Structure 1
Amino acid sequence: MSLEKVQSYFSEFGREEDIIVLNESSATVALAAQALGTKPEQIAKTLSFKRKNQDRVILLVTAGDAKIDNQKFKSIFQEKAFMLKPDEVDTRVGHPVGGVCPFAVNPEVDIYLDESLKRFDYVYPACGSGNSAIKLTVPELEEYTDFQTWIDVCKNW
């Protein structure tokens, strides 16, 4: 269902045929990199966080090799980073664990792109399922994602 929602979203841009549906799992950075024949750091992983005392969710799209820096996160969002529990993700975001992406998400989701992505010519975000992705340039990722802003909230990349 979620993959179909993302395919419908990309059909608005004539890009639904560019979604790669794999025969194997791409639900983790390592599996996605192997399945797509690319470097793990070029997988655009999408992490989901709770907003304290709010009904909103934060999605952070980062490079596959980047880790959340808790001090940077707290500095930007004025609260600690608390990831959604796996059983909350599909309901709150609109995509299941392993297929979370910044496309066709629920209205109460705020999307941010991390600076760790800017070093690549192209990246591979998921497309709503644990076996899908799309190859996008960073400007295309910006174009197709209804994001708030670029932020620097990661380390180790």
Structure 2
Amino acid sequence: MHPSSAKILDLLTAAGLHSRVRTLADSARTAAEAAAALDCEVGAIASSLVFLADGEPILVLTSGSHRVDTDLLARQIGARAITRADAARVREATGQPIGGVAPVGHPAPVTTYIDVELKKHGELWAAAGTPHSVFEIAYDDLRRIANATEVTVEEHA
């Protein structure tokens, strides 16, 4: 197991969760790739996306079937502007590469938000520190271990 994935597993265990890390043969860098490899709905993939809210990194755990509406998110969290973080800022904030960012295990706490739409799925899958590793988790456990605030990331017609 990759050291980053082992660290995530240790954090899950310390939080009292009985999750396991799965290493996939193919990349799970995108939600679609992860869903195909896991044979699950793309909406059950808890994508970890790093943005800059007024220049400060934030982590958004969103359903793989959603695109984050940054204007909607900014209004909810009281930010003037939200932009996507580049690869260097993602690694600086999380210690992990794009496509493998886990919801936990960062060098310092990152303000985290969670897409309420993830509640619709009993079993979620999140990255475990590399683009080839994932772990299974329930919504309430994910929200708790990530210390995440609930938000809506996409408007519904």
Question: How does 1:6-155 map onto structure 2 within 5 Å?
Answer: 6-13=8-15, 15=17, 18-53=20-55, 56-76=56-76, 77-147=78-148, 149-155=149-155
Q: Is the 8 A contact 2:70 2:83 kept in 1?
A: no
Calculate the TM-score normalised by the size of structure 1.
Answer: 0.87
Cα gap change, 1:125 to 1:155, in 2 (>3 Å): farther
- % same residue: 25
Aligned-residue offset at 1:103: 1.2
- Answer with 8-17 or 58-67: which moved more: 8-17
Calculate the TM-score normalised by the size of structure 2.
Answer: 0.87
Structure 1: which 5+ runs fail to align?
Answer: none
Runs of 4+ in 1 over 4 A off after TM superposition: 14-17
Q: Is the 8 A contact 1:44 1:123 kept in 2?
A: yes
Cα gap change, 1:156 to 1:64, in 2 (>3 Å): farther
One-letter amino acid of the structure 2 residue matched with residue 68 of structure 1: V
CA deviation digits over 1:21-62, x for unaligned, max 9? 112111111110111111111111011011325xx3110001
